[in-house]
Structure 1
Amino acid sequence: MRWNMRLVAAQRGIWKASDLLRLFAEHGLVISAGKMSGLWSGKPVTIKLADLDVICVALGCRVGDLLIPEPEMVARPGQETARPAADATTPTDVRAVVPRRRDGRSLPPL
């Protein structure tokens, strides 16, 4: 699953985690700065279903807007999980370059 809360918030004009934290508090969800950081900047380790309900109400969205399935990431039985050794004739994986700010803050969603 891919966590998509930051994009959903941006679509509603919310660009700062602190603004979203206040919005959640107005709806009765008070969370720590550390948990908010996990929700805002990446994949949360855990999330309570009750909290997910409040997030959906506060953002005016559905759970399917926040959680995007990635079935291609699941290993299927019988699939090889090990890659063959690379040699000079085999092209290596090229990873996308992700821009980062110099001050350590995250960039707005694309």
Structure 2
Amino acid sequence: MEVAAELGKKGIDVTPAFVSTVKSTTMGKSAKKSARKSAAKSPAAKKTGAKRGRPAGSTSKAASNEVSLDSLLQVKKIVEEMGSVQDAKNALTALEKLMG
């Protein structure tokens, strides 16, 4: 994954799976709904048949979910505080269930 590779160049070791997890958890449900609604209303979406908030020409869900470097650095700090990526994932899963 490009994000993991770019962070690796800056000395920040993250796996593509972690980047994916961060992306999926940093975009709230209301933001996802808003993105879907605005994409569905766009002329490009109607012409190309784009669905579910994906930009025209997008081939994967990951391509439409961008996370800033600042967000990833914040998550990296959290992971360090929690002890491991797995501990952070477990906490996010529990949080998701509580908020769900």
Same fold by TM-score, threshold 0.5 exceeded? no
* Larger RCO (CA within 8 A; separation ≥ 6): 1
Which structure has the bigger radius of gyration?
1
**Which has the larger helix fraction?**
2
TM-score (norm 1): 0.27
